[in-house]
Copies of this chain bind each other. A is one copy, B any other.
Amino acid sequence: MSLELTPSQALGLWHAVSLSQVRSEAHDLTLRQMAILLQIYLVPPPHTVRGLAATLNVTKPVITRALDTMGAMGLVDRVRDDKDRRNVIIKRTVAGALYLEKLGDVVIAEARELPY
Contact = CB atoms under 8 A, between A and B. Distances in A.
Stoichiometry, copies per complex: 2
Nearest to A43: B15
Contacts of A12: 42
Interface of A: 2-7, 9-15, 17-19, 21-23, 28, 30-32, 34-35, 38-39, 41-42, 55-58, 100-101, 103-105, 107-108, 111-114
Given A38-B14, A42-B12, A108 B22 contact: no
B57 A11 contact: no
B7 A108 contact: yes
A22 B7 contact: no
- Which one of A22, A23, A38, A107 has the highest number of Cβ atoms from chain B below 10 Å of its Cβ? A22
